[in-house]
Structure 1
Amino acid sequence: MSHDEETPGDGASDRHFRERPLPELQHLAELGPEEMYEAAEQLCRRAAGAGLRGDAARTVGRIAETLADTPSRDCVMFAADLVSRLLPPGGTNLGEGDRLLRSVAAKLVKVQHLRNLEPLFGDLPDGIGSPAAELRACVLGELALIGSGTGRQSLDAYAEKLLELGHPLARLPRARLDIEHRFAVRIRGLGSIKTAKQLRSRFPEVRSTDGGAVAGRAAGDARDDRRANAAAQPFEAGGWAREPEVRFFTLPSPLGPDDFGMSFLRELPLRCLAGEGSRRGSALACATTADDVLNALFSASYVGGANGHGQGGAYARLYAWDSLYALMGLPVGVPFLEAVRRAADHRWLRFMAFTD
């Protein structure tokens, strides 16, 4: 693996506990895996009844992440047990508990040999509401992103049971699709686009047309809150600072092949374009492809915004697909490969404007 690649589990999803060191961790770092696990058990027992909260909950969570990051079968079971059984419900807020489960799952898949993970799947789940089932669903989701885990009887049986029980992650393909080839892959020089020069250098610019402006003025607002919420999910889950704007419009006649560009977008009543033209720099729109769109949606929740945290590869993938389906207006039951085919038939734009 080159140093320019980033595997699921790296990045912003690991930041939180590193950024907030606790005094207890300085001592715990000197302990071996069994001693760390015993220390976490003691913290949990001490908090039984009152609920594990605050610094104690964060310490137990950090121990679980450290154990997940230590290659050995025992460490796998210790980490899984801490987040599945010993961390009492309500010990952390819902978002923090979800983040911890997803972080531990990502670390387990990144660090541990598959043979060390297999014992996690010895017993099939009775339901999908428990932290134990959720952790294993996330592990299977992370394995899918690296093309591993299929063909193992216990893992396949667990995945089938999760699908039968209706777990949302279980409906995703058990292997990465070709359209997902950029997920969590970092290539030097191809980071996020922040300037018009970067956008023009990487995507073909679409020229403005009079027909585009005419079509934009004729567009009718087609509000659909359900679709809008699904489309915004990667950004909401990733904790982006501003509320994303998702809008749907209908046209009285088909849009000409050359008219889907900035002249069309400028005529739509979009908040993100309010005041466009009053600042230095002209707005521009560039044509892009479905894989670029899907990767942007994945990255939104995988990396997380400045005020949020990454959600791990398994859920970032789910949110990206749910968002793409919503943008295209596809029912959930449409097979993924059919969605890939339809996405290629759509026209997609990246656009940038300079506003307040």
Structure 2
Amino acid sequence: MSCDEEARDAVETAARLARTEPVRSLEPLFGELPDDLGRPGVEMRACLLGELALVGARAGAPQLDAYAQRLRGLGHPLGRLPDQRLDIEHRFMVRVRGLGSVKTAQQLRSRFPEVPPSDTGAAAAWPAVGVPDDTRARAAARPFTAGGWARTPEVRFFALPAPLGPGDFGMSFLERLSVDCLRGDGTRVACVTTPDDVLNELFSAACYGGVGGHGQGGAYARLFAWDSLYALMGLPDRVPFLEAARRAADHRWVRFIASTPWFHHDTADLGLAVLDPSRTRVAVLAATDTDVTAPGASERP
């Protein structure tokens, strides 16, 4: 098998075991601690620990804790994740009937409070300065690129010369920024949302994958979602997850949708923007997916 096939097999096996087997029957898998991340079965076990953490089955299992500690010592990327689901992650893998992806402005307005038009917000966008950061942009886009969404997401960062009022952080402001996704004619709507909603959207994008891509499984989807959230907030990796969750509550989060040419208007469209606590730094992320051949549909990172 290719490396990609081996990785997918590890992800799928771990997800299946976490769903179907009790922890007691899985504990013998973790009896021998690894000394090399490249050893057969180590990747599957790392994914399995991540899946078990998401379903609340890691607590009180010393063998699993010891294995996780060894993975952290060896530098496995999944090793730094919390060993249990955090409160901000409460929506992960929870699907509610009737609450699928938001595809229309009407659906967005029905779920979230819309930000009213603001002349001061529109004026504040003109002096905004783009702050390119390719590394940060790749991390923010990772849930979508890993999941194989049809178009490479657009990620932009901006700095403002003066603080922006929270009530001015809406479409009047966003549509005047230098972002491709909002160019052209079409309906535009921006609504206030919460950090847990944003984190869940990032997790779902990676976990379930795009129409032409592959789901990454719960463990890696969780990692990519957090990496994206950290990037959107501009946080360094050394910030603990609980501290990141606390800081996320101090940011202003917005979801938007637009019927502009950049979006495919097919299977899934998502726009996110965040204003930092100083009210002078803004991040924008837009993603779109489709199951038909369209301009940009075959783009891959």
The bucket for the TM-score relative to the shorter chain is 0.7 to 0.9
How big is each residue's C-alpha offset from its partner over 1:69-128, in whole Å with a ceiling of 9 and x where there is no partner? xxxxxxxxxxxxxxxxxxxxxx22x32321111011000110112122111101000122
Q: Which residue of 2 aligns with 1:221?
A: 130
Candidates 75, 78, 85, aligned match of 1:169: 78
Cα distance in 2 for residues equivalent to 1:179 and 1:115: 28
Q: Which residue of 2 aligns with 1:182?
A: 91
Cα distance in 1 for residues equivalent to 2:51 and 2:225: 15
Cα distance in 2 for residues equivalent to 1:169 and 1:150: 17
Return the TM-score normalized by structure 1.
Answer: 0.72
Describe the SS at the equivalent of 1:246.
strand
Q: Does 1:103 align with 2:8?
A: no
Cα distance in 1 for residues equivalent to 2:131 and 2:204: 27
| Cα offset, 1:130, TM superposition | 3.0
Q: Does 1:145 align with 2:50?
A: no
Map residues 1-356 of structure 1 onto 2, 5 A cutoff: 91-92=1-2, 94-277=3-186, 282-356=187-261
Cα distance in 2 for residues equivalent to 1:150 and 1:134: 21
Describe the SS at the equivalent of 1:285.
strand
| Cα offset, 1:189, TM superposition | 1.4
**Pairwise CA RMSD of aligned residues?**
1.0
Write the letter of the residue equivalent to 2:213: G
Write the letter of the residue equivalent to 1:240: W
How big is each residue's C-alpha offset from its partner over 1:23-60, in whole Å with a ceiling of 9 and x where there is no partner? xxxxxxxxxxxxxxxxxxxxxxxxxxxxxxxxxxxxxx
Cα distance in 2 for residues equivalent to 1:185 and 1:131: 32
Cα distance in 2 for residues equivalent to 1:293 and 1:186: 15
Describe the SS at the equivalent of 1:352.
strand
| Cα offset, 1:255, TM superposition | 0.6
| Ranges in structure 1 where 5+ consecutive residues have no aligned partner | 1-90
Report the number of matched residues: 261
| Ranges in structure 2 where 5+ consecutive residues have no aligned partner | 262-301
Percent identical: 65
Write the letter of the residue equivalent to 1:102: V
Write the letter of the residue equivalent to 1:150: A
Larger radius of gyration: 1
Higher RCO (Cα < 8 Å, 6 or more apart): 2
Return the TM-score normalized by structure 2.
Answer: 0.85
Cα distance in 2 for residues equivalent to 1:225 and 1:255: 25
Write the letter of the residue equivalent to 1:345: D
Cα distance in 2 for residues equivalent to 1:201 and 1:149: 37
Q: Is the 8 A contact 1:276 1:353 kept in 2?
A: no
How big is each residue's C-alpha offset from its partner over 1:205-232, in whole Å with a ceiling of 9 and x where there is no partner? 0011111111111110000001000000
Between 1:164-173 and 1:232-241, the stretch displaced more is 164-173
Q: Is the 8 A contact 2:166 2:252 kept in 1?
A: no
Cα distance in 1 for residues equivalent to 2:158 and 2:58: 42
How big is each residue's C-alpha offset from its partner over 1:224-250, in whole Å with a ceiling of 9 and x where there is no partner? 001000000000100000010011000
Write the letter of the residue equivalent to 1:343: A
Cα distance in 2 for residues equivalent to 1:131 and 1:179: 34
Write the letter of the residue equivalent to 2:249: A
Cα distance in 2 for residues equivalent to 1:346 and 1:265: 16
Higher strand proportion: 2
| Cα offset, 1:150, TM superposition | 2.4
